[in-house]
Structures are given as C-alpha cells and as structure tokens.
Amino acid sequence: MTQASQDSSSDAMLEKLKTKPGSTKELFNKFMTGLTAFFTVAILIPLVAVVFDVAREGVGQLGLNVFTERPPAPGLTGGGFGNAIVGTLITLGIASLIAIPIGVLAAIYLSEFGRGTKVAYGIRFAANVLTGVPAILAGLFSYSIVVINFGGFSAFAGGVALSVLMIPIVMRTTEEGLKLVPRGMRDASLAVGATQFQTIAKVVVPAALPTIATAVTLAVARAGGEAAPLLFTALNNNFWSFDPGRPIATLPVLIYFFSIIPYRPQQQLAWTAALVLLGIILIVSVTSRFLTRQKQF
C-alpha cells in the first residue's frame, strides 16, 4: 500500500467518526431518548398528585388534637384519631415481629443452604404467588385461624393478617440482598476457620443489612396501607386500646369508614389520617435506612 492511499483511507475513517446531524439514525436515537425521559417523568405524576392531594386536603386539620383525641361522634366536629395511630403501630408491630424473623430466616435458607434445590424453587414460587394474592384473603386466613379459634377479633389477629402480606416481601427482597453479597466474602470467612453459621451471622447478613432494611420498609409500607385484611380481624374500636387481645382502631380502617359517611368533619379527618399514615411510612423508611446505614461499603 502506498503512502498516499493510506492517508486517504484514514481520512475516510475519520469522516466516519463524525456525527451526522439529521440522519435517520440520529433522529431515531434522539426520539427514543426523549420517549424514555418522558415516561420517566410520567410515572412521577400519579405519585406527586396523590401526595399533593392528601397534603392539601389533610393539612388544614392537622393539629396536636388529632394525635391525642378520639374520633368525634358522627356529625360533630373536633376530635382526632390518636387511638387509630396507636392501633396502626401496634398491629404493624405485631405483624413485623412475626414477618421479619420468618422472612429473613427463610431468605437465609433459600440463599445460603437451598440454592438450586427443588424445595427452594417451590418456596420461591409460593412466595411470588402470595405477593399477588388479594389482601382481603390474608384477612380471611387470619379470620379462619385466629379470630375463630382464639377469642374473636383482636389486634393480634390483625397483625397476623398483615404479616401474611409482609412475609413474602421480606423474604424475596432479603434473598436478593443476600445473593448480592460476593461469594469471595463467604470464602474469606470460611478460610479463617469460621463455621457456616458464623459466616452468615457475622459477614453475610451484616453486609446485606441495607437490603434487609429496604425489605422491611417495603413490607411495612405495603401492610400499613391495607384496610381490607383488618376489617374482620382487628375490626375497629372507637376507644383507646393497647390490648393486643381486643379489637383495635387502625388508620386505614378509620379512613375507610370516615370517607364513606356523609359528614364533612369526618371526611376531613379521613384526609388528615391519610396524611399521618403517609408520614408514618416515611418515618419507618427513613429510620430503617438510618439504623442500617453502612459507614462505607
């Protein structure tokens, strides 16, 4: 090849590197980028709209009294829903106490011991099905097991119903987190003479804590907003109650009842309750992240 022809061919190569504004390829590229950006913004619309709506309608009533007082009688103004806040915290607390240990331990089994086994596959499949089951069926389950056999409607029965919703979420998300812990860390731990249990407890689970926190937050957020499974388990209660063995008021159930009765003050209170519920879920999410944050990862 001569010097001249080499030069001209490298010129042609350089020409190929330059962008060609207005070419179909270029336009299509721009169009697709724009499309993805548009839908990214679009999915924010419902979220922002809901938060904005709830805040606008609910913030007017927000005062200390909603946290400290009981709901007013139909038609009367004032009052609050302190008992329902407490009730929501108690039922969610019970549900978490049941769901987190079961979900996390099951996830540990799936990721550390049962990888690739038929049992693990079956459990994973069942959990996926359970995530898609309508929430009211979780209530039905708790009703037929707890309510009927163990002293009627109660906060505990409500917690059991919610835990059924939480377990698959905690389990699946935690499992994903455990799987992300590199194989090398397990090897390193075993290589200094740790048992498999020590390796899981001291290396794998701590490394996966942020994901476990996400798992718990997702599960609490899902369960915290459900009214259906509580309607015939925790029932409702117009009075203060701290007893897990008795019916209890909860925010979703209160929102449900107050938004369908034709009294304006109650409807207003339902908006405020929705705002408080959003706040609680936000606080759970922020604290769980704060508690499990890694110094450096």
Partner 1 sequence: MVYDSATAVETDTIIRTENTSIYYGDFKAVSGVNLDIYRNKVTAFIGPSGCGKSTVLRCFNRTNDLIPGCRVEGRVTFHGEDLYSKDIDPVQVRRRIGMVFQKPNPFPKSVYDNIAYGARINRYPGNMDELVERSLRRASLWDDVKDKLQASGLSLSGGQQQRLCIARAIAVEPEVVLMDEPCSALDPISTLKIEELMNDLKQLYTIIIVTHNMQQATRVADYTAFYNAQEAKGGKMGYLVEVLPTDELFNNPKEQSTKDYVTGRFG
**Which lies closer to partner 1 via its Cβ, residue 67 or residue 113?**
113
Residues in CB range of 73: below 8 A, 6 or more apart: none
Only one of the segments 1-9, 172-180, 186-194, 242-250 lies at the binding site for partner 1 (rule: CB under 8 A); that segment is 186-194
Cβ atoms 163, 95 nearer than 8 A: yes
Give the Cα separation of 106 and 72 in Å (integer).
44
State which of residues 130, 194, 218, 221 lies at the interface with partner 1 (CB under 8 A): 194
Considering the rule CB under 8 A, would residue 36 count as an interface residue with partner 1?
no
* Total of chain residues touching partner 1, rule CB under 8 A: 22
Only one of the segments 181-189, 226-234, 238-246, 264-272 lies at the binding site for partner 1 (rule: CB under 8 A); that segment is 181-189
**Which lies closer to partner 1 via its Cβ, residue 68 or residue 117?**
117
Give the Cα separation of 52 and 56 in Å (integer).
6
Of residues 175, 186, 184, 196, the one with CA closest to residue 120: 175
Residues in CB range of 131: below 8 A, 6 or more apart: 168, 169, 172
Give the Cα separation of 250 and 92 in Å (integer).
10
State which of residues 74, 195, 264, 279 lies at the interface with partner 1 (CB under 8 A): 195
State which of residues 89, 136, 203, 218 lies at the interface with partner 1 (CB under 8 A): 203
- Residues 207-266 within binding reach of partner 1 (CB under 8 A): 207
Considering the rule CB under 8 A, would residue 85 count as an interface residue with partner 1?
no
Cβ atoms 168, 102 nearer than 8 A: no
Q: How far is the CB of 126 from partner 1 (least distance, A)?
A: 24
Tell me the residue length of the chain. Answer: 297
Q: How far is the CB of 116 from partner 1 (least distance, A)?
A: 8
Considering the rule CB under 8 A, would residue 22 count as an interface residue with partner 1?
no
**Which lies closer to partner 1 via its Cβ, residue 46 or residue 184?**
184
Q: Which residue has the tokens 């019970």?
A: 94
